[in-house]
Amino acid sequence: MLAYLGKDRQDAVLAGIIEPDYQFKTELIGTENAKIINNLTVDIIEHSYGKDYIMLSDKAFKDLSTAKKENYEVIYKNDVMNQQYEEIIKPMFEELYYKLLDDVNINDNDSIIFKYHINPIGDALRQYHGIDYSAEEKNQIVVDYIASMTDDYFIDLHRHLFPDSKYKIEYEPYF
């Protein structure tokens, strides 16, 4: 949650959903991703040290709640973003989901889902718990993989698997 508050704000600026100088109401934790992560992490450490639980100060918790509320009002419930989700992102998820599910169903060991998800997780589960991950329900395996993806990874994987798809997202890479 800490990492996504500011990252979603950064992404909203890049997507043109909010202006770069949009004034969020948060005070203590900041408004930019790095500051939010730093300030909340420091607060958690300061208020949790020596305790058997994790705790935020009342001020940080209030700011965190405000930030979440603002993100919902300004970003997540934005009509332009929701239209883009329905017209672009949701179909991308569907293409990706069914491609990966097909790969799992035919046991395509050369597929990306095997290389970067099933095999590494399967090896760890087998080694430490004696569990055969590949025996899990196939839909759940695909959902687990997609759920583990960052936004950028999802976009890049979709572009890699479907270079000719009409669904595309242009974004600013980190480098």
List, for residues 116-160, the tens digit of each pLDDT value: 999 999 999 988 999 999 899 999 999 999 999 988 899 999 999
Q: Are residues 67 and 85 in the same domain?
A: no
Residue range 69-75: average pLDDT? 93
- Answer for the pair 63, 28: CB distance below 8 angstroms, yes or no: yes
Q: Are residues 43 and 28 in the same domain?
A: yes
| Total number of domains in the chain | 2
pTM of the model as a whole: 0.72
Q: Of 77, 97, 117, which one is at a domain's C-terminal end? A: 77
Q: Are residues 36 and 14 in the same domain?
A: yes
pLDDT digits (tens, 9 = 90+) for 89-115: 999 999 999 999 999 999 999 999 999
Among candidates 65, 90, 70, which has minimal Cα distance to 17?
70
- Helix, strand or coil, per DSSP, at residue 115: helix
Domain assignment present for 174: no
Q: How many CA atoms lie within 13 A of 174 on its CB side?
A: 6
Q: Are residues 52 and 119 in the same domain?
A: no
Domain assignment present for 140: yes
The boundaries of the domain holding residue 54 are 2-77
Among candidates 70, 60, 84, which has minimal Cα distance to 9?
70
- Max CA-CA distance within the chain? 55
Q: Of 45, 61, 77, which one is at a domain's C-terminal end? A: 77
Q: Are residues 66 and 89 in the same domain?
A: no
- The answer, yes or no, to whether residue 64 has pLDDT greater than 80, is yes
Q: In whole angstroms, what is the distance from residue 68 CA to residue 51 CA? A: 26
Q: Are residues 56 and 121 in the same domain?
A: no
What is the predicted pLDDT for the residue at 4? Answer: 84
Q: Report percent pLDDT > 90 for the chain.
A: 65
Instruction: Calculate helix-pair angle for 58-71, 2-14, nearest 10 degrees.
Output: 40
Q: Are residues 33 and 70 in the same domain?
A: yes
Question: Amino acid letter at 139?
Answer: N
Q: Of 42, 77, 112, which one is at a domain's C-terminal end? A: 77
Residue range 79-92: average pLDDT? 90
Question: Amino acid letter at 86?
Answer: E
